[in-house]
Amino acid sequence: MARAAHIWLIFILLFPLCIFSQEKKQPLVLNGYVKNLHQFQFVDNLEQLQWTTFLHNRLNFAYAPSESISFRLEFRNRIFYGDAVANFPGFSDLMTQDNGWVDLTWSVAENGHMLLVSAIDRASVRFTKGNWDITVGRQRVNWGRNLIWNPNDIFNTYNFLDFDYEERPGSDAVRVQYYTGDFSRLELAAKKGRITDDHIVALLYGFNTWSYDFQLITGIYQNDWVMGLGWAGNLKNMGFKGELSYFVPRKDYLGNEHVLSASVSVDYGFKNGLYLYGTALYNGSTLDQNGSIENLAITAITAKNLMPFEFSSYVQLAKEFSPIFSGSLGTVYAPTNHSVIAIPTLTYSLATNWEMDLISQSFFEFKKYRSLGHGIFFRLRWSF
């Protein structure tokens, strides 16, 4: 409760300053959003229906006292109410989990059906001068290239099924970038978590050749050495991206598993507004290779183990029907048990800064012709 009081005190102090700075055109700014997400879940019949609502407020503060120095503070407040809070064992522990070096996530209030959680997921200072760009603090070190599975995203791996967290997780890290040219850079990043083995130190070299952006990665990933390669470019009119990471144990080199994680993707936009995206993943880890796909939504994935199967694929068709109405259909398929996730989405812009979404996630195993679970989400969002 003490930490919660501290963060609300920060907000109370910063909010009037932001309003004043916007009026006076000062370098302190505030933006964010409020979202209300209703979730309906059942397995194979509506008699098992469970309902949970989720109110999400995000506040983003930025302060730039000079051209070289900027500060960033962003936090999210989430209220969960309904069956998931009451019936899901460990729901509070899952929602308040924080793997950063400093624990900045906490439960503010909780009873049998309600949970209020506050978290700081961005808190950093950035210095830029000439070819140098240095950031210290909680930040997102985004080295991934693909949209769904990112073996190169070794610092803050995210679960693509968590669609409501578009900012994605951050890391307590130091990041130093030096631009060696217009299209090339060296980047060194280091992260320390609270768990003994949760440390990552890696170097990235990015460059452009043959009209492609390439990156080479090497470093320490927890108990492994990691080497990685990523690229982004075009095959004629089609986007073509890929990334792979190879993990080698730092101890007991011969006795432990070497893991290759690799993904490749293509995307194409048709003249009629139809957008096609496809990607495939190879997971060389034998850990949980026989896992069930319905647990993926609450699984803590890692860059070494992005899916519970050796091979997985994802295809999405998206269409903008009008400037304010769009839809998409995404499908995950893994040969193991013929596992499938169907993800249809409809998005409608109600007014300026107001958006409404209808999203579904359905899990199946067609080898045994069984439904593993369904989630239907209705979301209303106001941005400011």
The answer, yes or no, to whether residue 66 has pLDDT greater than 50, is yes
pLDDT at 25: 55
Low-confidence winner among 190-194, 208-212, 362-366 (lowest mean pLDDT): 190-194
Give me the mean pLDDT over the 256-283 stretch: 95
CB 77 within 8 A of CB 117: yes
Note the pLDDT tens digit of each residue in 116-175.
Answer: 999 999 999 999 999 999 999 999 999 999 999 999 999 999 999 999 999 998 999 999
Give the pLDDT score at 367.
Answer: 86
- Quick one: three-class SS letters along the chain? CHHHHHHHHHHHHHHHHHHHHHHHCCCEEEEEEEEEEEEEEECCCHHHCEEEEEEEEEEEEEECCCCCEEEEEEEEEEEEEEHHHHHCCCHHHHHCCCCCCCCCEEEEEECCCEEEEEEEEEEEEEEEECCEEEEEEEECCCCCCCCCCCCCCCCCCCCCCCCCCCCCCCEEEEEEEEEEECCEEEEEEEEECCCCCCEEEEEEEEEEECCEEEEEEEEEECCEEEEEEEEEEEECCEEEEEEEEEEEECCCCCCCCCEEEEEEEEEEECCCCEEEEEEEEEECCCCCCCCCHHHHHHCCCECCECCCCCEEEEEEEEEEEECCEEEEEEEEEECHHHEEEEEEEEEEEEECCEEEEEEEEEEEECCCCEEEEEEEEEEEEEEC
User: What pLDDT does 12 receive?
Assistant: 45
Label residue 18 by pLDDT band (50, 70, 90). low
Q: DSSP code of 90? A: T
pLDDT at 89: 85
Question: Higher model confidence: residue 292 or residue 329?
Answer: 329
- Using alpha carbons, select from 143, 153, 251 the residue that is nearest to residue 197: 251
Tell me the average pLDDT across 88-107: 89
Spatial CA neighbour of 308 closest among 265, 343, 330, 337 = 337
Average pLDDT for 29-37: 94
Structure tokens at 149: 């599975």
289: confidence class by pLDDT, cuts 50, 70, 90: low
pTM (2 d.p.):
0.88
**Residue 16 scores a pLDDT above 70:** no
Give the model's pLDDT for residue 9: 47
Tell me the pLDDT tens digit for each residue of 312-354.
999 999 999 999 999 999 999 999 989 999 999 999 999 999 9
Say how far apart CA 52 and CA 39 lie, in whole Å. Answer: 5
Q: Which pLDDT score is estimated for 370?
A: 87
Q: In the predicted model, what is the mean pLDDT of the chain?
A: 90
